[in-house]
Chains A and B, each alone.
Chain A
């Protein structure tokens, strides 16, 4: 569903993303981990069409993002770290706006909107102007809007920021359910525990380079074998001197798993 083919993104001399080759198949929940400035947000901005790769190609549901000039965005749901809402619209009006924008049929849109209001418990405030919302409320509404048109790919930048524990639980369960239902989810996060809990595969990026790529099971195996915590493992991959080492000091190369059974359409 998402394919990166030798994608490099430069800001002048600085390389924010270096030769990233990665494919995330249908129904996978992929967690993108890395320290600040590692290239996570640049990667996300390229997927959602805000930035173009300096070289290489990104395909979304088979469509080249650059060549398709943003039409691939119709398959996409995006939850940014800082949600954007129109202050002078109510939550319900915003959801209607999103439904219309994605061309949902009026008759189909109304029950969909109600369903999202139920799922994200928006009843208490959905008819107020969004300018009065807290960050958590805005984040919940943004999730509701991003999922309203059943996108084939969901891209989330720091999904749990500003959410209360109940909402965090809700989002975790929902993301797992969506992945099980065939949605591809690309999630950037700083929270290792969340990645460990819900992600199918993890990519650890540092200084624009993919330092580790593997399933959670592979990560757990490494953890169990060497009795190291996930945090220690993460820190070893994102060492301050830019070097990355495996458990015994050897380099750990990112591996591309063959599309698994879950890849079937």
Chain B
């Protein structure tokens, strides 16, 4: 049976004139801001009415965390001033730290805002709803872009603000340095956010037309370029660690971050000008110099905003349709070696639990937002660890190297904690409206939670232990410290998984479908703060005795109290690790048992 091919010609009298009322650009913006304001007010009101203790706890812990970072950065700047000695080299070093710090954050912000915007523009129920309304597509893009900026930059504010305030106080900066911090940071984050947004839309727009092998070739070439850049940056140094020659060499290699076209350089230069508080050699007041850099940042931020909006107006609707065509076309493979491996490697678990783990593994694998962030950050760490050996050091610096190895461990733990908060904590919440499926299965609820815990633990332990092993091999760490690192890493992975899964079950948000919003909520913030404390505690308890142990051995001393301290530290961190796993899991299990759907 064929379709009728009868001629169609709808009488033109049915055409409705296009002069129907429609909103102006400003009215659209005000309307969406009004919705945001109402949502924020309702969320705050609810939290203050029903969870005052929780809110207070999160605020308090966040403040303590911020203060800890502030003290750490303050101490770091003080140490540098003392270690370097002369003011000129110190000034250059601070400029280099600012440049590299903001250049790294800029790259991370481009990636994270692009990934968050991808989820917001192409996978959220809200945009699907808004696209069926008369709201202009560019307004939807801007609406989600602003959201992505907030979600991707809160970590930047949490990390950056204590460093900037600490430097300002240490350098005795004038008041306007502190007053300019917020506008500088706000204008800066808009630029990488805009680049990420434009890249995201263009990529999705072209995605349907690119063949898979072309994408793969592009990814491999990109990875190789990254390795080459890293290799050239981290070539072996001639000077020994922390010597003046070493400092000069390192400063020379970081010159790339001083490129005049980098927004991160504008930011660091503007802030350092403001901190200087003196009149420049050109006769301009430092605040005026600083405002010049701020205006440069603001004008570029606005430029990228305009480009993002123009790209959105032109291709967003089309790319949305194209992506959903492409998604529907792809049929995932039914049989995958990793699923088979997990099923075979876990014979002690019940079949139901194994199936639940494989289900979570499949969801992870099929969600590019999750695995791409995992690959990018752990890939960058692997690149850094691979090159770490190229920093020269002699035997006198063994204690320093030992410290660096523990700092690497802490960094892996901190990055892992952001992943457990971002992806593991929301796992139970994301079951949301599908919970009835899980609750109808012939599986005890405990098994569901333990399944998620095992998935998180195994999934994090394997890459993290490999990364730490790589770092230790490159640093030529002694076998004893290497073993301590591996044990500590297992404790970190287990504890962080326990915290994320347990708190995720205790504080689920079954109505929210966006994992970034769940993670940015009170429960997610609490999970992140507790995770950070846990990492610091575990690393300190193993690093300090280990440091003294290595130092005394190097000095041919072998006091028994150091060995006893090392053993006690390991035992205590083991006990804390068990507690950090068991306590949140017990709390989560109790809450999950009583959870009503």
Contact = CB atoms under 8 A, between A and B. Distances in A.
A102 B10 contact: no
B76 to A, nearest CB: 41
A166 interface: no
Most A CB within 10 A of own CB, among B3, B11, B126: B3
Interface string B390-427: 00000000000000000000000000000000000000
B31 A75 contact: no
A101 B325 contact: no
B31 A52 contact: no
Interface in B498-530: 511-512
Contacts of B259: none
Interface stretch (B14-22, B110-118, B439-447): B14-22
B4 A102 contact: no
B15 A61 contact: yes
B3 A101 contact: no
B136 interface: yes
A52 B318 CA distance: 7
B18 A50 contact: no
A228 interface: no
Contacts of B328: 11-12, 14
Nearest to B208: A12
Nearest to B31: A100
Contacts of B27: 100, 103
Contacts, number: 148
A26 B14 contact: yes
Given A19-B3, A84-B128, A89-B35, A70 B134 contact: yes
A89 B39 contact: yes
B336 to A, nearest CB: 21
A213 B511 contact: no
A84 to B, nearest CB: 4
Interface in A19-42: 19-21, 23, 25-26
Contacts of A253: 1-2, 4
Contact of B3 (A20, A75, A87, A152): A20
Interface in B1-43: 1-6, 8, 10-16, 18, 20-23, 27, 31, 34-35, 38-39, 42-43
Contact of B39 (A12, A23, A86, A263): A86
B6 A256 contact: yes
Contacts of B20: 74-75, 103
Interface size class of B (residues with CB under 8 A): 35 or more
Given A21-B8, A244-B1, A265-B13, A11 B131 contact: no
A59 interface: yes
B38 A93 contact: yes
A15 B2 CA distance: 15
B518 to A, nearest CB: 13
Interface string A235-265: 0000000001000000111111001000101
B324 A50 contact: yes
A151 to B, nearest CB: 11
Nearest to A258: B6
A12 B134 CA distance: 29
Contact of B329 (A11, A89, A265): A11
A73 B21 CA distance: 12
B80 interface: no
B321 A101 contact: no
A178 interface: no
B545 to A, nearest CB: 50
21 contacts: A1-B14, A6-B5, A50-B324, A51-B324, A51-B325, A59-B10, A61-B15, A61-B16, A69-B137, A70-B137, A73-B133, A74-B134, A78-B132, A80-B132, A88-B42, A88-B43, A102-B21, A209-B1, A213-B4, A253-B4, A265-B13
In order of increasing CB-CB distance, the 9 nearest A-B pairs are A62-B15, A12-B329, A103-B21, A84-B129, A61-B16, A88-B42, A74-B134, A11-B328, A88-B39
Interface of A: 1, 3, 5-6, 10-14, 18-21, 23, 25-26, 48-52, 59, 61-63, 69-71, 73-76, 78, 80, 84, 86-89, 93, 97, 100-104, 129, 131, 152, 209-211, 213, 244, 251-256, 259, 263, 265
